[in-house]
Amino acid sequence: MAILFSTKQLFSICIILSFMLSFSYGRSPNPAFRIKAVNLGGWLVTEGWIKPSLFDGIPNKDFLDGTQLQFKSVTVGKYLCAENGGGTIVVANRTSASGWETFKLWRINETNFHFRVFNKQFIGLDTNGNGIDIVAESNTPRSSETFEIVRNSNDLSRVRIKAPNGFFLQAKTEELVTADYEGATSWGDDDPSVFEMTIAGRMQGEFQVTNGYGPQKAPQVMRKHWSTYIVEDDFKFIAGNGLNAVRIPVGWWMASDPTPPAPYVGGSLRALDNAFTWAGYAFFPVPSDITISVTTSQDLTIMGGPVHNTPKYGVPKPMMLWSQHQCP
Ligand SMILES: *[C@@H]1O[C@H](CO)[C@@H](O)[C@H](O)[C@H]1NC(C)=O
Ligand SMILES: *[C@@H]1O[C@H](CO)[C@@H](O)[C@H](O)[C@H]1NC(C)=O
């Protein structure tokens, strides 16, 4: 509990101030001391490129939050476009796709999404008009801005978009996109509700992985990751190979652990507490000084200092340190 409290305090300090803070216990670090550190990326802050397999179990994992999609109507042969980048109608008259033709997903769950346009509005039914025209006018996503993406299982690049009124979007003409197409499809080029989809960009971070698994599954997946990806033996290995520091990227949401804002999952602070303990035992097998620095609001460096006359092990000291340093 004391440890939890103290790491939390570290967060409040670093997040509020968000500039270089450097602490040392007792006296300044030895100037001859050289940091030899390794970055423990992908542990407490997820990065898809570091551990792709963490994303493997996400249902409908091509459609993570932040994914950028472009849609070409198979009947008119042109791209969907939020005219003017947003604020007005959605058309299907562009021969190539760029900013205005790119729709960014806000993932609600594995089947339901909002589509955000270039100027940050959401596409939806024209509730001020006939109720079926597709516009990009709302600044907040409501139920009239909630869509399902249905993929052709034989050709995943072919999709239909189901509107909240139960009908599918169709490109009636190049200048008229409506949500009034009913019924099944054979996915042919003659079906105005079928679009050729291009994935123009993806994001794979902590938000995507926790939002992707959803509130039931994410806590289980993340806690397993935190407790297995970096373990005490890694610290022993790091110290045993001549390094004397680790850099641990941390997320702003950890400041409110164990109840971070959704979709983030609580429990990563416990892993960070473990890191303090393990770093202490690995880097300070003999009584020594310890320095912890926060170089940005999202990085933490734990490193060893010169041998110092302290009680057994350096570990409890930084913990005490946090409770001694109050925010000014
Ligand atoms: C997904 O979200 C929609 C809209 O909030 C909801 O109606 C639907 O039941 C949800 N589906 C699942 C599988 O959770
Ligand atoms: C697409 O349609 C809109 C609405 O009619 C029109 O203002 C715009 O000029 C058209 N753009 C192209 C490239 O045809």
- Please answer whether residues 269 and 223 qualify as being in contact, where contact means their C-beta atoms are separated by less than 8 angstroms: no
The residue nearest atom 6 of ligand 1, judged by CA position, is 112
In this predicted model, what pLDDT tens digit does every residue of 127-156 receive, in sequence order? Answer: 999 999 999 999 999 999 999 999 999 999
Cβ of residue 82 lying under 6 Å from some atom of ligand 2: no
The residue nearest atom 7 of ligand 1, judged by CA position, is 112
Q: Which atom of ligand 2 is nearest to the CA of 89?
A: 4
Q: Give the confidence band of 299 by pLDDT, cuts at 50, 70, 90.
A: low
Q: For residues 152 and 156, what is the distance between their CA atoms, to the nearest angstrom? A: 5
What's residue 17's pLDDT? 29
Residue from 58, 112, 217 to probe ligand 1 pocket by mutation (most atoms less than 8 Å from CB): 112
Q: What CATH number should be reported for the domain holding residue 24?
A: 3.20.20.80
Cβ of residue 232 lying under 6 Å from some atom of ligand 2: no
Cβ of residue 83 lying under 6 Å from some atom of ligand 2: yes
**222 shares a domain with 98:** no
- Select, from the ranges 21-25, 146-150, 291-295, the one with the highest average predicted confidence (pLDDT): 146-150
Higher-confidence position of 96 and 243? 96
**107 shares a domain with 71:** yes
- Cα of 286 vs centre of ligand 1, distance in Å, is 56
What's residue 276's pLDDT? 84
What's residue 245's pLDDT? 85
What's residue 34's pLDDT? 77
- pLDDT of residue 222 exceeding 80: yes
Q: What percent of the chain has pLDDT over 70?
A: 77
What's residue 316's pLDDT? 32
- pLDDT of residue 16 exceeding 50: no
What's residue 12's pLDDT? 40
Higher-confidence position of 287 and 86? 86
- Please indicate, yes or no, if residue 44 is contained in any of the structural domains: yes
What's residue 136's pLDDT? 98
- Please indicate, yes or no, if residue 255 is contained in any of the structural domains: yes
**164 shares a domain with 278:** no
Cβ of residue 88 lying under 6 Å from some atom of ligand 2: no
Q: What CATH number should be reported for the domain holding residue 93?
A: 2.80.10.50
Q: Considering the chain, what is the average pLDDT of its residues?
A: 83
Identify which of 68, 58, 61, 71 has the alpha carbon closest to the alpha carbon of residue 161. Answer: 71
Query: How much is the CA Rg of the chain, to the nearest whole Å?
Result: 26
In this predicted model, what pLDDT tens digit does every residue of 184-195 receive, in sequence order? Answer: 999 999 999 999
| Global pTM value | 0.82
- Please indicate, yes or no, if residue 136 is contained in any of the structural domains: yes
Full residue range of the structural domain in which residue 157 is found = 66-201
Looking at the structure of the chain, the number of domains it has is 2
- Please indicate, yes or no, if residue 1 is contained in any of the structural domains: no
Three-state DSSP string of the chain? CHHHHHHHHHHHHHHHHCCCEEEECCCCCCCCCCCCEEECCCCCCCECCCCHHHHCCCCCCCCCCCCEEEEEECCCCCEEEEHHHCCCEEEEEECCCCHHHCEEEEECCCCEEEEECCCCCEEEECCCCCCCEEEEEECCCCHHHCEEEEEECCEEEEEEEECCCCCEEEEEECCEEEEEECCCCCCCCCCCCCEEEEEEECCCEHHHHHHHHHHHHHHHHHHHHHHHHCCHHHHHHHHHCCCCEEEEECCHHHHHCCCCCCCCCCCHHHHHHHHHHHHHHHHCCCCCCEEEEEEECCEEEEEECCCCCCCCCCCHHHHHHHHHCCCC
**162 shares a domain with 79:** yes
- Please indicate, yes or no, if residue 7 is contained in any of the structural domains: no
Query: Taking residues 243-265, what's their average pLDDT?
Result: 90
**161 shares a domain with 247:** no
In this predicted model, what pLDDT tens digit does every residue of 166-181 receive, in sequence order? Answer: 999 999 999 999 999 9
Q: For residues 131 and 133, what is the distance between their CA atoms, to the nearest angstrom? A: 6
